[in-house]
Amino acid sequence: MFQVAASRRRMDVLKYMLDHGFDAHHAFVKDTLHRVIDAAASDDEDTLQPILHLLLAHMDVNFQRQGDLFTPLHVACAKNFYGVASLLLLYGADVNAIAADDLMPLNCAERCVASPQNDAMTNSNTLVELLKKHGARPTWRRQQPAQVPPTQPDQTVDLSSQFKVLSFSSHNFETGLMFTTHDTD
């Protein structure tokens, strides 16, 4: 009943159930955010109202549903819902959550940009920019370090500024012996 009320945007039923002790963390209703976002036809205020109500009821914003391991942010990005995604990020959604097949929310948003039936290309681009602004990465794997070009043999580098000064002071916070770690001739 709780999931049906949420997907049909029955705020009065949701409020009544939550006010009278309904456990929003029950195992059977943990994927309610996913279902509400999936059932939404557009990213408008009517969609945001039940999502906001569920978030205020402390629904887990990073719950991964069974099967594809999508979080609500994955679902919002796959449907190109900028407003829903920004609301989920505001409530602490993990922008780098990993779903099945190593999909991340940024990958879902980029697929919307690349899809030929996408009419709202600018909305997809702004969704990608929003995710990147919040630290989204395209993959969970470690990035390859940038290749540093080798220095030429005729170039001289002053290494004396790169050495650290070590201190061996006593445990009584008295001044100790100071020395540098490079050789002086």
**Model pTM?**
0.68
CA atoms of 75 and 38, how far apart (whole Å): 7
Position 74 pLDDT exceeds 90: yes
Distance of CA 174 to the CA centre of its chain: 48
Alpha helices by DSSP H, 40-120: 45-56, 72-78, 82-90, 105-114
What is the chain's length? 185
Distance CA 57, CA 51 (A): 10
Q: pLDDT (tens digit, 9 = 90+) per residue, 47-62?
A: 888 888 889 888 899 9
Residue-wise pLDDT for 29-49, tens only, equals: 888 889 889 988 888 888 888
Looking at residue 44, what DSSP letter applies? S
Do 34 and 66 touch, CB atoms closer than 8 A?
no
Name the residue with higher pLDDT: 28 or 58.
58
Alpha carbon distance 25, 82 (integer Å): 26
Query: Can you list the domains of the chain with their CATH numbers?
Result: 2-133 (1.25.40.20)
User: What separation, in Å, do the N-terminal and C-terminal C-alpha atoms of the chain show?
Assistant: 83
